[in-house]
């Protein structure tokens, strides 16, 4: 059957329903079949009445033992069914659904899906879907797709229209992915995928179906981008060679790499040893150990006789990298140097001179690295840490200081710019999805501002008495370091006079000189400060394992990803660590966001949830670029599939850049359709 057929002519739809579907931007049969659910509700598990919890949405199997109707006021009619199973009694409540009492009689066995209200032993189910017990239940005991909807169209309508259409024997969606790809990635056919997304025969089947669609969405997006942006921008790069000494450096580390670190490192070394220039993104949650991967990549570079550069967003972080790299690499005769804005002119000139003469192997710094004066002798590898702090241009400015050096960017936060890089920048991705062993998860507690006193008086004190240290993060002030600094100073005064006159309180903010910050951080590291009050300058990378408590004031002002970054400053040693989020908002969104922070320590999940709350439109914004939207695929949730699809896109593109080979014909047609807007634009020019 022709999938481009207008839906009003599809059997069982007709003009009236078609009009409704048009509201959802569904015009053709294909639009309808590809109108995928936003989520799924699992109604499979039948629960016993005694097991039901308040607020559950659950399915029960029960016998009707009583039936009443009442009409408390005009226009309101309430039907109640008393039911029981072998564990207890429940009431089903229906508003203005008089047909219920005729359709379901005392003595009938029924299946009910509904929302549970439980007070003491009284169980009530509302918003019920009821049906007689049968072998093929329609609305209970199944996985039910939940569609994105608009006013005047219900989920049931959409679902039953699509199911009706899929029942038509003539409909068979023709496969368009090459067969070898289906086999290679064990993908199901498109027909199976579409059927099971709308009407899952089991959880397993749904999973298989979704996998196929996610893969294909990424594959087509990436292939389309390659085709319309003139291909993979592969440039010739340095071909590094294996060097035995790298293993020596590696075994001098005080720990063994995690599997994930090892994998990322191998991917990096493979890139470095290839003919083309590396362009790779390393994503790893806070504390996953990205620095040591950077260190080994830099080592590989200098063992090959090239210089390396590492750029960090703040001086504190740059200094910290400098210290840890020096510590590890000095015994191997590697010269590491630091270049930050706060150096004296004379010292800076000295450093620059030595970089140019190749007396320095690794230069670490802030964006001072990209100033014009900085000249390298033979820059082979450029690494930027916490890359979301830098613009794309800053990054390329650094790499222009060499001749096609390899490029590595590291980030803990998958954020919009990262997304843009994936879409436009043709980056490869390595994922460090494992924390070093022995880490204790940080316990996060969100409290209302009213409990601030208690947090200070009991928690802070307790940790300090145990010999631990505490961070207190000041409220975020819009875009002004000066005001933020003032707020931080005031907070310190308040803390000193009202709470901690007997403790050592330190202050750190962005307006301080580099040397001041440095000395405060050093004192904190050396345990000469108990409580460090800080603005968000503390956000990235700082490492003080003895700090076990972080209090964040006005937590509602921060992005979730940022809160996660901040809290990553604790939980770095073997002691149990805590993060207290103090919030001063009563909004529902605030409550939701705080509870996400309490529930998970997984940075990827947090970004994803943040995205969910803020809504993807604003975030992804692909439509305005004429790019096809991703309906099921999610760049955070499905990072691993994205990687596979990207890899495959590259293989396909390198063999058949116009997709003219016979086996790629179907794929090409689909991509051209998806990229319709871009195709139009090109043909206009």
Judged by CB, which is closer to Mg ion: 404, or 543? 543
Q: Which stretch binds ligand ADP (CB under 6 A): 24-32, 105-113, 286-294, 574-582?
A: 286-294
User: At what angle are helices 190-198 and 203-228 packed, to 10 degrees?
Assistant: 120
Query: Least separation, in Å, of the C-beta of 320 and ligand ADP?
Result: 8
The helix/strand/coil state of 562 is helix
Query: Least separation, in Å, of the C-beta of 308 and ligand ADP?
Result: 17
Pick what 284 binds: ligand ADP, Mg ion, none; C-beta below 5 to 8 Å, kind-dependent.
ligand ADP
From candidates 158, 221, 292, 549, binder to ligand ADP by CB under 6 A:
292
Identify residues 571-630 at the interface with ligand ADP (CB under 6 A): 572
Q: Which residues pair with 580 in a beta bridge?
A: 445, 551
Judged by CB, which is closer to ligand ADP: 140, or 384? 384
What's phi and psi for 436, nearest 5 deg? Answer: -55, 150
**Radius of gyration for the alpha carbons in the chain, expressed in angstroms and rounded:** 30
From candidates 145, 289, 405, 603, binder to ligand ADP by CB under 6 A:
289
Residue 327 in the binding site for ligand ADP (CB under 6 A): no
From candidates 137, 164, 436, 616, binder to ligand ADP by CB under 6 A:
436
Q: Which stretch binds ligand ADP (CB under 6 A): 47-55, 104-112, 232-240, 284-292?
A: 284-292
Judged by CB, which is closer to ligand ADP: 261, or 279? 261
Judged by CB, which is closer to ligand ADP: 114, or 284? 284
First to last CA, the chain: 35
Q: Kindly list the residues in this chain that would bind Mg ion in the complex (CB under 5 A).
A: 541
No. of H helices and E strands in the chain? 25, 21
CA distance 438 to 221: 40
User: At what angle are helices 290-303 and 315-329 packed, to 10 degrees?
Assistant: 60
CA distance 55 to 48: 15
The C-alpha torsion from 435 through 436 and 438 to 440, rounded to 10°, is: -30
Q: Which stretch binds ligand ADP (CB under 6 A): 157-165, 173-181, 257-265, 489-497?
A: 257-265
Judged by CB, which is closer to ligand ADP: 284, or 628? 284
Are 73 and 61 in contact by the 8 Å Cβ rule? The answer is: no
Query: Least separation, in Å, of the C-beta of 568 and Mg ion?
Result: 9
Query: Least separation, in Å, of the C-beta of 410 and Mg ion?
Result: 7
In sequence order, the 6+-apart residues with CB closer than 8 A to the CB of 390 are 311, 313, 367, 384
- Closest C-alpha among 512, 491, 509 to residue 500: 491
Residues 464-493 as x/- pattern, contact with ligand ADP by CB under 6 A: ------------------------------
Query: Least separation, in Å, of the C-beta of 281 and ligand ADP?
Result: 13
- Closest C-alpha among 427, 428, 384, 406 to residue 307: 406
Query: Least separation, in Å, of the C-beta of 385 and Mg ion?
Result: 6
Identify residues 34-63 at the interface with ligand ADP (CB under 6 A): none
Give the count of alpha carbons within 13 A of 352, CB side only.
17
- Residue with the two structure tokens 């979301």: 388
Per residue in 252-266, is it b (16+ CB within 10 Å) or e — as a string? eeeeebbebbbbbbe
Identify residues 201-230 at the interface with ligand ADP (CB under 6 A): none
From candidates 255, 494, 589, 595, binder to ligand ADP by CB under 6 A:
255
Which spans of this chain sit near ligand ADP (rule: CB under 6 A)?
A: 255-258, 261, 284, 286-292, 412, 436, 541, 543, 572
């Amino acid at each position: 059957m022709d999938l481009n057929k207008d839906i009003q002519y599809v059997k069982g739809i007709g003009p009236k329903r078609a009009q409704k579907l048009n509201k959802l931007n569904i015009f053709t049969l294909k639009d309808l079949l590809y109108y995928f659910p936003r989520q799924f509700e699992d109604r499979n598990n039948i629960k016993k009445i005694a097991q039901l919890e308040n607020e559950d949405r659950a399915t029960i199997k029960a016998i009707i033992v009583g039936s009443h109707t009442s009409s408390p006021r005009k226009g309101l009619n309430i039907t109640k069914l008393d039911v029981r199973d072998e564990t207890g009694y429940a009431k089903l409540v229906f508003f203005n659904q008089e047909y219920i009492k005729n359709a379901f009689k005392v003595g009938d066995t029924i299946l009910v899906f509904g929302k549970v209200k439980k007070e003491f032993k009284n169980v009530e189910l509302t918003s019920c879907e009821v049906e007689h017990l049968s072998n093929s239940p329609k609305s209970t005991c199944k996985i039910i797709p939940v569609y994105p909807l608009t006013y005047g169209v219900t989920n049931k309508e959409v679902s039953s229209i699509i199911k009706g259409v899929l029942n038509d024997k003539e409909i068979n969606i023709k496969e368009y992915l090459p067969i070898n790809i289906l086999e290679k990635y064990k993908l199901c056919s498109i027909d199976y995928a579409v059927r099971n997304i709308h009407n899952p025969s089991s959880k397993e089947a749904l999973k298989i179906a979704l996998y196929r669609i996610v893969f294909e969405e990424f594959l087509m997006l990436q292939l389309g981008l390659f085709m319309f942006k003139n291909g993979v921008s592969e440039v010739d790069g340095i071909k590094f060679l294996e060097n035995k000494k790298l293993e020596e450096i590696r075994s001098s580390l005080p720990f063994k790499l995690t599997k994930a670190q090892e994998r990322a490192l191998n991917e990096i070394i493979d890139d470095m040893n290839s003919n083309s220039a590396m362009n790779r993104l390393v994503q790893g949650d806070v504390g996953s150990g990205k620095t040591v991967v950077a260190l080994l990549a830099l080592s590989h570079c200098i063992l090959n006789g090239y210089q390396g550069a590492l750029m960090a967003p703040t001086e504190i972080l740059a200094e910290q990298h400098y210290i840890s790299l020096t510590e590890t690499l000095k015994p191997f005769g590697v010269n590491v140097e630091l270049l930050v804005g706060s150096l004296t002119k004379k010292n800076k000139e000295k450093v620059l001179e030595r970089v140019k003469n190749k007396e320095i192997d690794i230069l670490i710094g802030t964006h001072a690295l990209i100033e014009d004066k900085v000249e390298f002798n033979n820059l082979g590898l450029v690494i930027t840490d916490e890359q979301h702090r830098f613009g794309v241009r800053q990054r390329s400015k650094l790499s222009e200081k060499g001749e096609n050096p390899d490029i590595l960017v590291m980030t803990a936060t998958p954020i919009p710019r990262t997304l843009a890089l994936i879409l436009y920048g043709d980056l490869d991705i390595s994922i460090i999805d494992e924390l070093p062993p022995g880490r204790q998860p940080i316990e996060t507690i969100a409290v209302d501002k009213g409990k601030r006193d208690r947090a200070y008086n009991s928690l802070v004190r307790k940790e300090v008495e145990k010999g631990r240290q505490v961070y207190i993060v000041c409220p975020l002030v819009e875009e002004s370091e000066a005001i933020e600094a003032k707020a931080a100073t005031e907070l310190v005064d308040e803390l000193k006079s009202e709470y901690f006159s007997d403790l050592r309180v330190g202050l750190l903010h962005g307006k301080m000189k580099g040397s001041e910050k440095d000395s405060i951080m050093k004192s904190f590291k050396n345990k000469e400060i108990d409580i460090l009050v800080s603005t968000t300058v503390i956000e990235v990378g700082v490492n003080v394992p003895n700090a076990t408590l972080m209090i964040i004031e006005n937590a509602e002002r921060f992005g979730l990803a940022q809160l996660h970054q901040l809290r990553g400053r604790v939980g770095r040693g073997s002691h149990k660590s805590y993060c207290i989020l103090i919030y001063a908002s009563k909004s529902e969104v605030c409550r939701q966001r705080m509870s996400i922070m309490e529930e998970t320590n997984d940075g990827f999940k947090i970004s994803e949830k943040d995205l969910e709350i803020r809504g993807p439109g604003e975030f992804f914004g692909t439509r305005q670029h004429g790019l096809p939207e991703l309906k099921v695929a999610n760049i955070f949730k499905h990072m691993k599939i994205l990687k596979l699809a990207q890899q495959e896109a590259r293989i396909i593109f390198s063999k058949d850049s116009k997709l003219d080979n016979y086996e790629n014909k179907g794929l090409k047609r689909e991509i051209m359709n998806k990229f319709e807007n871009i195709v139009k634009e090109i043909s206009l020019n």
